[in-house]
Structure 1
Amino acid sequence: MSKILLFNPQSANGKYRIPNSILSIAASVEGKHEWVIVDGNRDANPLEVIASYLSTGDYKYLGFTVMPGPQLKQSIPFAKTIKERFPHTTMIWGGYFPSSHPKIILDSGYVDFIINGPGDHAFPSLIDALEDNKPYEFIRNLIYKAGNEIVKTQKEDLFDQDPLPPLPYDKLNKIYNIKKYLGKTFLGERTLAYHSSIGCPFTCSFCAVVPIFEARWKAKSAQTVYNDVKYIKDKWGADAIEFHDNNFFVSEKRTVEFAKLIKPEKMSWWGMARIDTMDKFSDASLALIREAGCKIIFFGAESGNNLILDQLDKGGTQTGNQIIRFAERLKKFDIIPEYSFVLGTPAPTAKQVEAQIDFEIDFIKKVKAVNPRTEIVLYTYSPVPTEGSALFKQVEAAGFKYPKVLEDWISPAWENFDLRKNPLTPWLTPEMIGKIQNFETVLNGVYPTVTDIRLSSIKRKAIQLVAGMRYKANVYNYPYEIKLLQKVWKYRQPEIQGF
């Protein structure tokens, strides 16, 4: 049987996390096919490492996991080079980026197949079909090219997570020392990255998850999550957890069960949630979650304007008033709310776009007034190709276009687009973008993120003093003095760099 090489492209400089997505693919073929992982975050020259494996002639299949943004910087040039040097290699991409932009990827000529969503069944089925020279057209969750036509096979229902094979941590440890994946963060000295669920039951039109999972969510049981975390804690010393689920707190019952299990382990943890979901949790549940080690929770606030929430198809019952009320509610439980806001959504006139930006700036200051510990993460709206979405139709009508050639995605402008920092959208002027960025600079000066563990208390007080007068006077233009301090002190932005 031909061997499989799985590649995790670099996502951050000097930050290592267990590559859960590519490791789940390894788990799907464990015991059936020999595999190896190359991690672009760990190897100084990952392309050379990949080439050394392929040169043996044993590895026929090459799987990439590709998120938008930083991972494209290695994915695109590496895939092109590999296909030129090893043309008989079958290249398979998975992840949000290829699922959202299949045509431009398959038209490039160096990617053969795309896994459209979870690959736990699709990937091994595809490998078996190719190995046995059997049809693959009826395998679900595939996208491929037949002649000039892009073919998408039927989506597979989300499957129960507990019966899936366990992630092969021990085998990964033989390739890369797992202890180096447990990084020092705000949460702890040895922070574990973990996925306990897939998908999300909502259909926000700005979210890349929606076209893939289509309002579906499946989770591992609290007991399975605990068993996995406990194994890594006992074997490699993990003392904190980043839950990278799209929505960890969907079920109050599962969350409470996990909190009861993990509480004796004395581990700190973080996850993502919806405000309107967690606002329904009882006080007893919220108190237990904090007692069990949950220190901070990321919430997609998005906007304080109910009309914008409707435009974003936020769904649920979230309102601007609830966003403020919930931030205040969390104070008594000592849980830090981390609120993200999306500024710069399209509107009929430039005056309306600017008015929306001004509204959000004022609203964010109201949130900070009721709970100063609320972490604020600012994004500029970047379109997501959600088919049938009224918002995306509005975006296209305004003249927004994606690149037509795959290599253009690794230009600096489009890399920033994927980080939601430079949207390249026709309705936002440079002055509007500057207003958002300048407010963010001042806000981060007055309220430096608690997750930046390198920023000393003296530096925090100094930058707060400099930014405080601007914040009170609503003067955000040309905050060069704050930018200089942030640059010199290498201020960490969690939305780009994580914890």
Structure 2
Amino acid sequence: MNNVKDTNSPVDVVLIYPKTGMDVGSTVVPPHALLAIAAPLHKKGYKIKIVDQRRDFHWRENLIKALAGNPVCAGISSMTGTQIYFAIEAAKVIRKVSKGSIPIIWGGPHPSILPEQTLQNEYVDMVCVGEGDVTFAELVEALFSKKAISNIKGIGYKDGSKITLTGPRELIDVETLLPVPWDLINPEDYIQPDFYLKTSPRTLDIGQTSRGCPFKCGFCSSASIRQRKWRAMSVEKSLDMIVRAVRTFKLNGIWIRDDEFYIDRKRAYDICEGILRNDLNIRWYTSGTRVDVFNKASDEETSLLKKSGAYVLKFGAESGTNRVLKLMEKGILWEDTLKANLKAKKHGIIPAFGLMIGFPTETFREINQTIDLALKIKKDNPAAQLEAIATYTALPATPLFDLALEYGLKPPQTLEGWVDWDFLEYDLAGKKIPWFNYRERKKIGNISYMYTVANAVPNLVGSIKNRLLKYALIMLTTPLVHFYRFRMKRKYYTFAPELAILRRIRNKIFYKGYYIIK
């Protein structure tokens, strides 16, 4: 079916983006996973309804209203972790309202990694495995025309208890990607001061100019989903995407969500020159930058970055010990991180560093070395930003997963079991990091929470749109920020009864979904 503009149905396809469990301020960005799969269908005239739980307090009512239009299917995107909980909540609504007549199709990272286990759940009828831009469109058209789906690559489905996977689909040529169908959402819901660009009140995550990553970090699932292949749009297509978004929405800040923007340095700097040539006058940043790649850039190249508006560079520093960096096959040394920090300082660019702890074989001496690296980063460059310290969370199909199994990991055997795979949540039960004992796991949880409050929370609160709420939260959190920074410097993590209260508040607000904070 090439065009369905004349169908009688008010909604042909409904797409749901579930809450993630930490949806505050600028953490809530456009649901690009849904926009990408909607684009080909939207171009052909299909009527798409997107329900974003993170921005819609009345998502149940609006989902039920969309289902009344008798769509041909409902699509749900989900990562591993808390998002699965909210995805199942949405799927239950769909199943109850439609009485099973509307097929529920899951996509995203988690179903792509574990398609068969995902299909075993009663609230899943089909899955899209890997990139769904073409796959989902073919599936919808087959359902509309009541054709067989068995020859569609990149899907899984079930017939009774029999599960069928049709085999992988080739990765898409990103040069063929359609423009983001912004008219399917209200972009103003996602334009806000950013976690990193708080002084640019009209900042928007505009999507990707490239996909994939050629590196093999042991904790990352990108390699299994995108086969360690980096694919980039041309400079011209990338600039068209950037310029169009900035001018259409009158933006003064953008996030380019590429996993690795700087793999092709010439392309990256040509885009910088294009931003200047178009006189956009914006601040911008990208999702991922490797310290070793940045360290290779010349002073001239780095100055061009700064001049074009590259305000922040996000780095995955990961660890303060070279043994752990080697274990995860990061391909860098902790000394490279300090070098990148000083280089960014020299050029007036703010570096932001992410760290991880809790790996199999990692000792508390090594964990403290990672804390020391963070303290050294701030000492050398007070403008540097420190993100949350994540607790290592083993994911299937990642290089470190077999080592985690060897050290006692017992992965969940059901879709619901993965809900607890939250990299910021405590693991007191030993589900995620069983190689540490109870006291050690509690200590790691304390470190993660203290570090996050001390470093990430000020940026997070600063990105909230509601000024009254923002300043109230600043007043409430500032004493804790200073208290935990004091404790981190002295490495005192053991006695922190107030963290149980903070966790309870967090779970009540975000996990239970009582509030939506913009």
Aligned to 1:35: 48
Kept in 1: contact 2:211–2:259 (CA 8 A): yes
Structure 2: gaps of 5 or more residues: 463-469, 506-515
1:235 to 248, 251, 268: 248
Displacement of 1:207: 0.8
TM-score, with normalisation over the residues of structure 1? 0.85
Q: Give, in angstroms, the shift of residue 20 of structure 1.
A: 1.5
Secondary structure of 2:112's partner?
A: helix
Separation in structure 2 between the aligned mates of residue 46 and residue 461 of structure 1, nearest angstrom:
33
Relative contact order: is structure 1 or structure 2 higher (C-alpha 8 Å, sep ≥ 6)? 2
Report whether the alignment pairs 1:288 with 2:304. Answer: yes
Counterpart secondary structure, 2:49: strand
Measured after TM superposition, the shift of residue 473 of structure 1 is 4.1
Provide the residue aligned with 1:312 in structure 2: 328
Give the CA deviation at 1:438.
Answer: 4.2
For 1:493, the equivalent position in structure 2 comes to none
Q: Distance in 1 between matches of 2:455 and 2:318?
A: 19
2:459 matches 1:451: yes
Distance 2:253 2:374 in 1: 29
What is the 5 A alignment of 1:165-244? 165-169=178-182, 171-172=183-184, 176-185=185-194, 186-187=196-197, 188-196=200-208, 197-244=210-257
1:446/1:286 Cα in 2 relative to 1: closer, same or farther (>3 Å)? Answer: same
TM-score after normalising by structure 2:
0.82
Native 8 Å contact 1:192 1:241 kept in 2: yes
- What one-letter code is carried by the residue in structure 2 that aligns with 1:279? N
Report the 3-state secondary structure (helix = DSSP H, G, I; strand = E; otherwise coil) of the residue aligned with 1:207: coil
Deviations 1:236-287 (A, max 9, x none): 2221112222222222112111211223211111212111222222221111
- Tell me which of 294, 305, 315 is aligned to 1:278: 294
Please point out which of 79, 90, 105 is paired with 1:78.
90
Distance 1:52 1:399, change over 3 A: same
Following superposition, the deviation at residue 26 of structure 1 comes to 1.1
The AA in structure 2 aligned to 1:374 is A
Partners of 1:20 and 1:402 in 2: how far apart?
A: 29
* Residue identity opposite 2:392 in structure 1: Y
Find the counterpart in structure 1 of residue 357 from structure 2: 343
Q: Paired residue for 1:384, among 395, 420, 432?
A: 395
Task: Go from structure 1 to structure 2 and tell me whether the alpha carbon gap of 1:62 and 1:362 turns closer, same or farther (over 3 Å shift).
Answer: same
Q: 2:342 & 2:247 partners in 1: Cα distance?
A: 37
Q: CA deviation at 1:369?
A: 3.2
Cα distance, 1:464 vs structure 2: 7.1
Q: 1:471, CA displacement in angstroms? A: 4.9
**Residues 321, 354 of structure 1: alpha-carbon distance in 2 compared, 3 angstrom cutoff:** same
Q: Deviations over 1:14-55 (max 9, x none)?
A: 544222111111112124333222222232221222222222
Match of 1:478 in 2: 495
- How many residue pairs align between the two structures? 476
Structure 1: stretches of 5+ with no match in the other structure: 489-496
Amino acid at match of 2:32: N
Aligned-partner residue type, residue 290 of structure 1: K
Change (3 A) 1:6 1:486: closer
Rounded Cα–Cα distance in structure 1 between residues aligned with 2:485 and 2:423: 31
Please tell me the residue identity of whatever aligns with 2:322.
Answer: N
* C-alpha separation in 2, matches of 1:5 and 1:464: 42
Secondary structure of the structure 1 residue equivalent to 2:72: strand
Find the aligned partners of 2:233 and 2:161 in 1 and give their Cα distance: 40
Identity of aligned residues (%): 28
Deviations, residues 93-138 of structure 1 (Å, cap 9, x unaligned)? 1111211232332101221221111111111112223333434333
Q: Is contact 2:390-2:448 (8 Å) kept? A: no
1 CA distance for matches of 2:310 and 2:458? 15
1:321 counterpart = 2:321: no
Q: Hey, what's the Cα distance between the residues in 1 that align with 2:457 and 2:480?
A: 12
After TM superposition, give the deviation of residue 362 of structure 1 in Å.
2.9
Q: Quick check: 467-476 or 242-251, which moved more?
A: 467-476
CA separation of 1:296 and 1:408: change in aligned 2, threshold 3 A: same
Asked if structure 2 preserves the Cα contact closer than 8 Å seen for 1:375 and 1:449, the reply is no
Say whether the 8 Å CA contact 2:213–2:228 is kept in structure 1.
Answer: yes
Q: Does residue 356 in structure 1 map to residue 366 in structure 2?
A: yes
Taking the aligned partners of 1:421 and 1:312, their CA distance within structure 2 comes to: 22
Distance 1:20 1:471, change over 3 A: closer
Greater CA drift, 330-339 or 363-372: 363-372
What RMSD over aligned residues (CA atoms) do the two structures have, in Å? 3.3
Q: Where does residue 80 of structure 2 map in the other structure?
A: 68
Is 1:404 equivalent to 2:429 in the alignment?
Answer: no
Q: Structure 1: which amino acid aligns with 2:239?
A: Y
Who is 1:300 aligned against? 316
Whether the 8 Å contact between 2:394 and 2:432 is mirrored in structure 1 is no
Instruction: Return the match for 2:155 from 142, 149, 159.
Output: 142
Q: Does 1:269 align with 2:284?
A: yes
Q: Is the 8 A contact 1:69 1:419 kept in 2?
A: no
Q: Which of 366, 371, 377 is 2:376 aligned to?
A: 366
Q: Is the 1:103–1:150 contact (alpha carbons within 8 Å) kept by the matching residues of 2? A: yes
Question: Which is worse superposed, 109-118 or 150-159?
Answer: 150-159
Q: Distance in 1 between matches of 2:17 and 2:158?
A: 24
| TM superposition shift of 1:89 | 0.8
